[in-house]
Amino acid sequence: MPRITAARVIVTCPGRNLVTLKIETDEGVYGLGDATLNGRELAVVSYLQDHVVPCLIGRDAHRIEDIWQYLYKGAYWRRGPVTMSAIAAVDVALWDIKGKVANLPVYQLLGGAARDKCMVYGHANGRDIEETLDDARRHAEEGFKAIRLQSGVPGLAATYGVAKNGQRYEPADAALPSESLWSTSKYLRSVPDLFAAGRETLGWDVHLLHDIHHRLTPIEAGRLGKDLEPYRPFWLEDPTPAENQATFRLIRQHTTAPIAVGETFNSIWDAKQLIEEQLIDYIRATVVHAGGITHLRRIAALADLYQVRTGCHGATDV
């Protein structure tokens, strides 16, 4: 059995702070786990270095479930994005070690492949609808079968979710959270025009997605979903803050537009009611922030019982 002899936290990309945990064993096998938490990366670094790494030394690297439960329950303070991102890094690194020892890719240890391909979507965004559609055409030409449409809102100087100066969109765009003025009424008027133009330009063989970024109240989200129904959105992401899961009932009462949520979730408890009441269609929890492979499998298994699909997010905007 490989014993953990060392664990090191590696921070790269100064200013952006991409965080990796490297766990080493006495058999010379090491594993890597991502611990990047957008905008709060260094908090996870401290949590790992000060509170988690000392707990790992000497433990059997194969006892993944035991170590997961120890880190989750032993800390007394459970859940939260910092804790669960740290646990996720350990969990993925341990699965990496197990796969290397077994000389098998981790997906084989989890039961093998269920499909040969996985659909992904590209981000098309621009300062206005025309610029967004130009970007969408490029994604379609590259072969993307699903494209997320985000456009600047007329009358607003800046819109969260729209990249600046031709750069790729990055959710953690500054050391401190960016602030900007917002107008829900202008936004609600602009998105149906964006989708109408998107369908006219791209046709009906491309899936169109949109991220609301928690901006709306439930009734506003229901109204937007109903306005977009003629354009058959693949999903509307994060329509309203999800701390109160029951509020999604109101959205469901007013629209059949599929709903995706969960990139900011860090445990199964954040999604339990949403899944059990089938208030969402896609769960977006990520392996990096939701406790690693071990815990994300639990979320996916619960979702499967209620025909809620997975559309997992990544550490940054993957």
Give the active site residues: 160, 213
DSSP state of 140: H
Q: In angstroms, rounded to a whole number, what is the distance separating the alpha carbons of residues 236 and 256?
A: 11
Intra-chain end-to-end CA distance of the chain, in Å: 34
What's the residue count for the chain?
Answer: 318
Which 8-state DSSP code applies to residue 168?
P
Longest dimension (CA), the chain: 62
CB 180 within 8 A of CB 187: no
The three-state secondary structure class of 3 is strand
Give the separation between CA 237 and CA 212, rounded to whole angstroms: 6
Residue 20: partners with Cβ closer than 8 Å, 6 or more residues away: 9, 10, 11, 12, 32, 33, 34, 35, 89
Q: What are phi and psi of 144, to 5 degrees?
A: -65, 130
- For residue 34, give the 3-state DSSP assignment: strand
Reduced to 3 states (helix: H, G, I; strand: E, B; else coil), residue 239 is coil
**Element containing residue 10 per DSSP (H, E):** strand 4-12
* Encoded amino acid at 203, one letter: G
C-alpha to C-alpha distance for 170 and 105, rounded to whole angstroms: 30
For 121-153, b/e burial (b = at least 16 CB within 10 A) is bbbbbbeebebbbebbeebbeeebebbbbbbbb
